Every structure is written in C-alpha cells, then in structure tokens.
A and B are shown apart, each in its own frame.
Chain A
C-alpha cells in the first residue's frame, strides 16, 4: 500500500483482490484498496500513539491540578518542568543497580522551583518538589496510572492500559530508591518506541553535525539523549546476567545473549571512537570560539561527553566480564547429574505458562500450588472438659510488686590469664636485661630458673620466657614500620646451636642446684636461640643516612615517616 503511494511514475500494478491490471496514477483521488493487513497496521499505530500519549498524561494532570492543591499555593510554579527535572535526575543516577533517593530528587528540583517562584520561600519550594515527586510515583494503592483507549483490531474494544513513570525499589540495606521506567525514559527523550542502538547512532551523528555547525546547545541535548540510551543498554545487560546466574537453561545464550553482547561490544567500541572524535572537535571549537558564552557551553558539553565515555567504559568492562559469568555458571550448572524421574522444570513448565495466563485463568492453579506446597495443616481439636477446666481455673494471683528480686551474684570479669601477674613481671624483668648485645636463650632460662622473685614459680617464669622469646622470633618488621612504630623490639634468631644447659663454674654448694636446673631444663628442647634488642629508631636513622638501596628491608613501604 505504501509503495503504491510512493509510485509517482506511471506503472503497471497488480491489485491483489481481482487480478485486474490497473494503470497509475489513477483518475480521480486515489483510494487504497482496503486490506486486512493495512487496517491492522493503522490500528496498531493508533493504539501505540494513544499509549505514548498516555505517558504524558500524569504531567498534564500535574499542571491542571496545581491550582487546586494547597489553596493554589503552587499556582506560581510550572510544575511539569519540575517533573522533567525529577525524571532526569532519576534517570541519570540509574546505573547498574541503583537509582536516586527521594531526598536527592527533591534537592535537585528545588533550585528550579526557586527560580520559577523567587518569592515563595524554601519550604514552599520543597513542598512543591515533594508533591511533584509523589504524583509521578502515583498516589493510588497500586502506584500506577491507567487510561482507556480504543482497540479497533477485529472488533472495537475499549482496553485499559496501566503504566508507571517512577517506581520505588528497595536496596539491599532496606533503603528505598527510585528508578525511571522505560515509559518515563521514552517520554523524556521523546523517542517513542524506537530501537535502542539505532537511536543512539542517530543521536551521535546529529551531535557531530551540530558541533561542526557550532550549534552547541542542541549538541548538548543530543549528548544527553545518547547517555540515556547507554543507561538502557546497561540495564539490559544487568538483567541478562542475573538470568544466567539463575538458570542457564532458561536463557538462550548462543542465539540471543551472545549476539547481543557482540553487538553491544562493537557498538561501544564504535561509540568510544565517535565520542573521542567529537571531544577533539569540540575542544577545537571551544578554543576557536570567541564568545564567552559559547566557550562555557562547550566546556559543559565536554563534561557531559566525559560522563558518556565513562559510562561506555564501565559498560564495556561489564560486557567483557559477561562471558566469564557464563563459563563459570556452565561449569556449576551443566556438569551435574541429570534427574532420574521425569520432573517438570518449575520455571519453564509451570511458572512461565502461568504468567502468560489471564488473572482469571491463573488463579485456580496458583491457589492449588500454594495450598499443596505448604503441606497439611493440623487442626486443633477442642475438648469440652478441658475447656471447662481451663475456664474454671482460678485466675493466677498477681502480686503488686512482682516476684522477689534475687540479688545477682557478681564476679570480676578479669581475663583468665595462663600466667599470674608475678610470673609475668619476673619474665619481663629477665627480658629487660637483654640489650643490643645478643644473648642465648639458655642463659636467660638459667636466669629465670634461678630467680627468686616470690611468689612466682621459677618453672613457670622459664616457660613464659621461652614463649616470649619464640614470639619475638623473626618479627614482622615491615608491618610494624608501616604502622609507624619505631620503638625498639626484641628479635630472636637461630644459628643452629642446640639448646643445652650452659655449664657454670661448679661450686660445691651449687651442685644440688645444678642437678635441679638440669631436671627443669629437660622440658625445653630445640635451637638455642639468640636474642637481642633492636633499636629500630637508630637503625632507621642509619639506614636513611646510607644509600637508600643498601637496606631496603628496613625501609617502610608506605611512607610512614
């Protein structure tokens, strides 16, 4: 039918109906032969336009009712501009998971409201912003708008179309945020019912053209449109990945998603290139431009383009990772043993078919599933005698002051130390004697075992001492330096000497004591560690004085100096 309209040169055309040859242009006004296909196309377009129009109705409603709310206090505002600001704010903040918080949207609207009505005051500005936002979310219990429109397909039916502009979502932390629906984005960018990718390509081509002609404010508008399109692509990818994680069998990876990823990747590479070119052009334009307002405009556009590029790069990274998600899920899901009995696929064979049904048809099976999956519900069966007994039982007496308060038994919450205070002090005293000159563990142990610091038991002191020395074996110098701690510390190391009781000049009186010491010493074995105190501050000072490369191990990694 369209072809016949376009045919300006006389030609022979075969009408479908009667097979008669007809010469065009026909005499008199042309009337297209009514075909069913043609009518359907026209009617679909009618319905589509009616619905597109419907998406703007909430804004008209806002404008129409502003004089009626709060005794006309909002009459001074142009509320649908404020509505656009709200939708813009939400759309721009929508990224891979989140949207905008209510307060952020209101904050974004207020400056515009203030400009519209400078004398109204801050409270009034916030009130109108909140009112506009609430109206965009919807105030009915289902938070949706609905209109009726006519469907001329086959027979005339009046249908109801429900839609939303801003929807509330819940974040993982329980807070509520807003997202713009596709309907809202379509209203906003004015591109109704168009293909995502081609629309972006068109927007970008337009932008380049505009930049060349120096019409920057329009270029800014086109760049904004391009950004909304990118946000939509990101949303689509996010949903694809979530579906893949749930069930691989439920998504058509090779047929649908993979080509989409390829397309999106190619698309983004192309966008990045185009935007780079535009940025270069605009830089040149900005530098060549004489008028200050043109220069400012170009600078604003550059910021916007930078944001576009960032978004493209984020999306590109997510796209690259997408295949990894697929491979990982394949390993997890596909290589599992198959079911032995034929079981239905709950999602594909039950949930999806039920979702496709009308509410009236879906109700019986859904209620049936609900009532069966919960299992049996045991009934409580009453018994008259039990009931009579319960009713006749004297009510429990309640004392005015309640039960007697039991004095709580309090206990000190001291740490349950393995070594008592005295032992710890004795061991510390021994270690304090260690200076920069290294000493052997066996010497220290002997000292500990011979210590006479009542009430500490020498064996326990020696045990703790051994543990403390072990603790200072190979200390984490680097982390201490990184934390900026330059106090001196004990350092233990081994030179391979076995731990043995060092013999002292045997005095006759000390003979029994030596035997006793030897008996205690049996409990310790291993290397006779060397232990010394490292003065970190001095060492660092030396290190700094030397060539930096000579003592790299002593240098703090993070610049804690």
Chain B
C-alpha cells in the first residue's frame, strides 16, 4: 500500500469515528480498520495525526465502541451547549447550570465509583427518576451540612445563589395548565440530557418505565473515563482548586 492509500484508510477510521451511532459490528470495513489500529502502531499513529490536525483527540479505539473521538475547544467539531438548547443562551446562567448538572449527574449515576469506569461488564440501567432523586438527595445533604450558614444570595445578585439550592427549588414535574411537561421541570431537563446522549450514540433507551430507563454504551464510558482522569486538565479542575474564589 502506498502512503496515500494508508493515509486514506487512516482518515476513513476518523470519519467512522465522526459517526458515533455506527458501531464496528455493523460495518465490516469499520471493524477491519479498528483491528488494524489496534495491531499496527504505524497505522494508529497516522490515525491520531489526522485526528489531531482536525482538532480531535482519539480517546480510545475498541471493537465494541469503535473510534471514540473527543473534540478540542478550537475544533470545528466542538459542541456548544446552545446547539442543543436554543433557549440556554449565554445570558441564561440558571438554565445552563441545570443542563450541565443533569449531564454530570447522569455520569455520576452511571459510574458511582471510579472502578466502574474500568469494569468492562459494568452496564448499569439508570432511570430519569434515579438521576433527579440522586441530585435532590445530594441537595438535601448539602442543606444539612450548611444548616448553620446564611446561604441566600443578595437580592440584587441572584447569580450568587448556590447551585444546589437552585436545583432543589426547581419543580420536579408540573401538572398545571395544559398538562404539557414544563420546560424548567427537572425531570424534563434530565430527559433532554438523555436524549442528547442517545443522539450521539452514547446511551440507549431500554424501557419507558420510571420516566425512561437508559443504559450507557461503551463509548459513553470512554468519554466519562477521559473526563475523570486525574491527569486530564479541564475547566472542572477549577472546581477543586481551593484558591478559586467562592463568591
């Protein structure tokens, strides 16, 4: 094979990775490329180089999950929260925090312990109600821990409200008006978060019970593992920095 041919094949694997709903088991060509990536260091290097040029990181390539890619901030492939929720614009801090919390809590419910991320047989089933109740339970615990403090925000700076207190007061569901699900209701927000994951091939729905029961795919596990790795820096690290100004 010529260099051009090899490069073409390597680029093809990246292209497969950009179709997250496609799995190697469904496409013989894809499966062959995945195997080649895992067996030939030279080929793997070429794939990573091509991805890198496009602003992508190859997080992992497995037969079950395929090529799992992560976009860097400057990449043309980077996702913006606004792409998913038109109404969660930059100015709507409260809504953006709610959508972010839903995603983070789903990850925490799917992988309650770090070991779960490394267990190939860990395939939990998580319901919308589990996620919402989990967050509400955390809120209750934080309330208990901070019972002695004055936590209400200044009346003219409501964005200084603590995140958990805001979540705890969001309605869980509403039945008033025309019985449509309320946009700000937390169950609805968690459902939307699962929908976004399904659209990206990271979750599949296994049942309609309890507001919907979902199961993560291997690709989701790889993404979350990447985000929870100690040596990967990202914005969340600021959270753990004790010098960061609280408010």
Binding site for B on A (CB under 8 A): 44, 47, 102, 134, 137, 139, 141-144, 148-149, 151, 153, 157-164, 167-170, 172, 174, 176, 239, 242-243, 246-247, 249-250, 333, 336-347, 349-379
> How distant is A124 from chain B, measured CB to nearest CB, in Å?
20
CA of A364 to CA of B239 in the docked complex: distance in angstroms? 10
User: With A243-B137, A350-B228, A365-B236 in contact, do A167 and B171 touch (Cβ < 8 Å)?
Assistant: yes
CA of A137 to CA of B84 in the docked complex: distance in angstroms? 30
B97 x A47 contact (CB < 8 A): no
Which residue of chain A lies nearest to B230 when distances are taken between CB atoms in the complex? A342
Can you report 24 residue pairs joining A to B where beta carbons are below 8 Å apart?
A102-B175, A142-B170, A142-B184, A143-B174, A148-B155, A157-B154, A249-B113, A343-B118, A346-B111, A350-B108, A354-B163, A355-B167, A357-B163, A360-B159, A361-B247, A363-B93, A366-B97, A369-B100, A371-B81, A372-B227, A372-B234, A375-B68, A376-B71, A376-B79
User: With A172-B210, A372-B227, A378-B19 in contact, do A339 and B246 touch (Cβ < 8 Å)?
Assistant: no
A361 x B171 contact (CB < 8 A): no
> Which residue of A134, A361, A379 contacts B76 across the interface (Cβ within 8 Å)?
A379
> Which residue of B77, B142, B245, B247 contacts A378 across the interface (Cβ within 8 Å)?
B77
> How distant is A181 from chain B, measured CB to nearest CB, in Å?
9
A378 x B18 contact (CB < 8 A): yes
B238 x A247 contact (CB < 8 A): no
Secondary structure of the B contact surface, majority rule: helix
A362 x B154 contact (CB < 8 A): no
> Within 8 Å CB of B206, what residues of A?
none
B229 within 8 A of A: yes
> How distant is B238 from chain A, measured CB to nearest CB, in Å?
6
> Within 8 Å CB of B139, what residues of A?
355
CA of A316 to CA of B239 in the docked complex: distance in angstroms? 41
B246 x A357 contact (CB < 8 A): yes
A343 x B225 contact (CB < 8 A): yes
B171 x A168 contact (CB < 8 A): yes
B93 x A360 contact (CB < 8 A): yes
> Which residue of B69, B83, B138, B160 contacts A359 across the interface (Cβ within 8 Å)?
B160
> Which residue of A144, A168, A239, A371 contacts B173 across the interface (Cβ within 8 Å)?
A168
Stretch at the interface among B3-11, B27-35, B36-44, B194-202: B194-202
B154 x A366 contact (CB < 8 A): no
> Which residue of B154, B169, B223, B225 contacts A158 across the interface (Cβ within 8 Å)?
B154
> Which residue of B138, B155, B169 contacts A142 across the interface (Cβ within 8 Å)?
B169
Complex A-B, nearest 6 residue pairs according to Cβ-Cβ distance, in ascending order = A366-B100, A368-B235, A376-B77, A247-B112, A376-B71, A159-B152
User: With A341-B229, A357-B162, A376-B71 in contact, do A346 and B140 touch (Cβ < 8 Å)?
Assistant: no
> Within 8 Å CB of B140, what residues of A?
239
Which residue of chain A lies nearest to B77 when distances are taken between CB atoms in the complex? A376
B142 x A356 contact (CB < 8 A): yes
B2 within 8 A of A: no
> How distant is A160 from chain B, measured CB to nearest CB, in Å?
5
A375 x B236 contact (CB < 8 A): no
> Within 8 Å CB of A164, what residues of B?
169
CA of A128 to CA of B216 in the docked complex: distance in angstroms? 47
Q: 20 more A-B contacts (CB under 8 A) besides A149-B152, A370-B99?
A: A151-B152, A159-B152, A159-B153, A160-B152, A160-B153, A160-B154, A161-B152, A343-B114, A351-B101, A354-B101, A354-B104, A354-B236, A358-B160, A361-B246, A369-B104, A372-B234, A373-B107, A374-B79, A376-B77, A377-B83
CA of A379 to CA of B210 in the docked complex: distance in angstroms? 35
Which residue of chain B lies nearest to A378 when distances are taken between CB atoms in the complex? B18
Binding site for A on B (CB under 8 A): 17-20, 56, 68-71, 75-81, 83-84, 93-94, 96-97, 99-101, 103-105, 107-109, 111-115, 117-119, 129-130, 133-135, 137-142, 150, 152-156, 158-167, 169-176, 182, 184, 187, 196-197, 200, 202, 209-211, 219-220, 223-231, 234-236, 238-240, 244-247
CA of A132 to CA of B159 in the docked complex: distance in angstroms? 31
Which residue of chain A lies nearest to B247 when distances are taken between CB atoms in the complex? A358
User: With A354-B163, A355-B167, A359-B159 in contact, do A172 and B209 touch (Cβ < 8 Å)?
Assistant: yes
Which of A102, A168, A367 is the most central at the interface, judged by chain B CB atoms within 10 Å of its CB?
Answer: A367
CA of A312 to CA of B68 in the docked complex: distance in angstroms? 53
> How distant is A254 from chain B, measured CB to nearest CB, in Å?
17
A369 x B236 contact (CB < 8 A): yes
> How distant is A153 from chain B, measured CB to nearest CB, in Å?
6
> Which residue of A149, A339, A344 contacts B115 across the interface (Cβ within 8 Å)?
A339
Which residue of chain B lies nearest to A338 when distances are taken between CB atoms in the complex? B115
B100 x A370 contact (CB < 8 A): yes
Which of B112, B165, B231 is the most central at the interface, judged by chain A CB atoms within 10 Å of its CB?
Answer: B112
> Which residue of A137, A163, A168, A339 contacts B118 across the interface (Cβ within 8 Å)?
A339
CA of A366 to CA of B105 in the docked complex: distance in angstroms? 11
A343 x B229 contact (CB < 8 A): yes
> Within 8 Å CB of B129, what residues of A?
170, 172
Which of B80, B99, B101, B197 is the most central at the interface, judged by chain A CB atoms within 10 Å of its CB?
Answer: B101
> Which residue of A169, A174, A346, A368 contacts B107 across the interface (Cβ within 8 Å)?
A346
> Within 8 Å CB of B167, what residues of A?
355
Which residue of chain A lies nearest to B134 when distances are taken between CB atoms in the complex? A246
> Within 8 Å CB of B83, what residues of A?
377
> Within 8 Å CB of A355, what residues of B?
101, 135, 138-139, 142, 162-164, 167
CA of A345 to CA of B75 in the docked complex: distance in angstroms? 28
User: With A158-B156, A354-B163, A356-B164 in contact, do A368 and B228 touch (Cβ < 8 Å)?
Assistant: no
A170 x B211 contact (CB < 8 A): yes
B100 x A170 contact (CB < 8 A): no
Which of B71, B175, B224 is the most central at the interface, judged by chain A CB atoms within 10 Å of its CB?
Answer: B175
User: With A356-B164, A359-B160, A363-B93 in contact, do A370 and B105 touch (Cβ < 8 Å)?
Assistant: no
> Within 8 Å CB of B161, what residues of A?
160, 358-359
Which residue of chain A lies nearest to B236 when distances are taken between CB atoms in the complex? A365
User: With A356-B142, A356-B164, A358-B246 in contact, do A351 and B97 touch (Cβ < 8 Å)?
Assistant: no
